[in-house]
Amino acid sequence: MKILVDRKRCEGHGLCEDAAPDLFEIDDGGELVLLFDGTVPDGRDRQAADAVRICPVSALKAE
């Protein structure tokens, strides 16, 4: 699974970080940081899907 981020939509709510703290981080400037290369690591698909689903502005997309 790959995760795409629409950075124009992301408002830095941090719900993705709450759902998958080992995959997403909101930095001190409020910007989303992926803690992986875009391809979700093995065994983390469910966490990534939860993060996509929980984003209130639909800034994340799973492929």
pLDDT at 56: 97
The span from the CA of 58 to the CA of 61, in Å, is 7
Structural domain for 58, as ranges: 3-62
Res 38: pLDDT: 85
- Number of domains the chain contains: 1
Find, among 44, 39, 54, the residue nearest to 1 by Cα.
39
Q: What is the pTM of this model?
A: 0.91
- The predicted structure's pLDDT at residue 29: 94
What local confidence, expressed as pLDDT, does residue 54 receive? Answer: 97
Q: Per residue of the chain (63 residues), what is the pLDDT tens digit?
A: 999 999 999 999 999 999 999 999 999 999 999 999 989 999 999 999 999 999 999 999 999
Helix (H) or strand (E) holding 3: strand 3-5
For position 23, which CATH number holds?
3.30.70.20
